[in-house]
Amino acid sequence: MAWRGVHLTQPGKLSLADGQLVVEQADGTARLPLEDIAWLVIDTPQATITTALLSACMAHGVALVSTDARHTPSGLMLPFHGHHRQAAVAVLQAGQSAPRRKRLWQKVVQAKITNQANALTACGHDGRAVAAMATLVGSGDLTNVEARAARAYWGGLFTKFRREDGADKRNMLLNYGYAVVRAAVARALVASGLLPAFGIGHASASNAFNLADDMVEPFRPFVDHAVFAMSDGGIVRDGEPSLAERRELASLPLRSVKMRHEVMSLLAATELAAASLVRAMETGTPAVLILPEFAPVP
């Protein structure tokens, strides 16, 4: 079972040999079993990768993330399929009625807002006002409580912050972390037989990852909490993400989270959430959907 990630930041060649990822760099060669790898972030423009390795990564369900010249994640590669009931699950997903999708989206938004409130508290701020907003979310969130909660959340979490300011280092860090966690979520969805393009809340015709953008929402506060610490309590906004910061964000899927009464890695939590989404669609019961809880873990 895949449990680890690889973050490549130095020039090198990536190839396949005996079912292993082979990384050749100036200071030596490393080999890792592909079956252990869940995600691979190529965070350098000076890397080459063989087509044999690409094919093997897709066969093993490895999510491959590429970055641009500024080290911002810019691409995601996933396998076409990875589930023995691929067609059946796709038909189930496509056949979900609008009321069912709206109830599922309600649960996702409620979990996101609750996690935002708990993240605020963990960062030393008052999260009670944001927590109260979770109770206001109706089916489909037609009154857009999510946006109102976001305004209160960001205003409380960071100092002098605008989410759309691309020059703000905190946004650079957030976007990096979101991309890594989104890749883990998309990987889990595909592994469960779901089609990432067909969402329950997001429905952009130009977005191939609408469902991934839905299901990543409750996971976002885990990224926010990490960035808060990196930015000296949400204050530092100048500069660009360092290698150490990018490396820490690339390891976020290894962070421990709570899923109901269990503690597991964020990576495992994405897999459980995706599998429970399929069950929720099969039973027509949103309560079956299991989502992460932002809470202290041992």
- Note the pLDDT tens digit of each residue in 243-274: 999 999 999 999 999 999 899 999 999 999 99
Model confidence pLDDT, tens digit, residues 174-214: 999 999 999 999 999 999 999 999 999 999 998 999 999 99
pLDDT at residue number 146: 97
* CATH superfamily of the domain spanning 4-77: CRISPR-associated endonuclease Cas1, N-terminal domain (3.100.10.20)
Q: 282 versus 85: which is more confidently predicted?
A: 282
Determine the pLDDT at residue 84: 66
Q: Across the chain, what does the average pLDDT equal?
A: 94
Q: How far is CA 4 from CA 8, 18, 266, in A?
A: 13, 19, 11
Residue 70: per-residue pLDDT? 87
Inform me whether the pLDDT recorded for 298 exceeds 60: no
pLDDT of residue 87: 84
Mean pLDDT of 38-57: 96
pTM of the entire predicted model: 0.93
Pairing of strands 73-77, 63-67: antiparallel
More confident residue, 83 or 283: 283
Residues of each domain in the chain carrying CATH 3.100.10.20: 4-77
User: Could you identify the residue written with the tokens 């429905």?
Assistant: 203
Question: What is the pLDDT averaged over residues 227-233?
Answer: 95
CB 214 within 8 A of CB 276: no
Residue at 164: amino acid letter = E
List where CATH 1.20.120.920 sits in the chain.
86-288
What is the pLDDT, as a whole number, of residue 83? 61
**Inter-CA distances, 2 with 251, 265, 273, Å:** 14, 12, 16
In this predicted structure, the answer to whether residue 82 has a pLDDT above a threshold of 70 is no
- Tell me how far apart the alpha carbons of residues 89 and 81 are, in angstroms, rounded to a whole number: 11
Render pLDDT for 103-127 as a digit per residue (tens, 0 to 9). Answer: 999 999 999 999 999 999 999 999 9
* Closest-CA residue to 264 (of 275, 276, 273, 255): 255
**CATH superfamily ID and name for 86-288:** CRISPR-associated endonuclease Cas1, C-terminal domain (1.20.120.920)
Cα 239 from Cα 38, distance rounded (Å): 30
- Which of 76, 58, 78 is closest to 67 using CA atoms? 76
Average confidence (pLDDT) over 161-185: 96
Cβ neighbour number for residue 154 with a 10 Å cutoff: 16
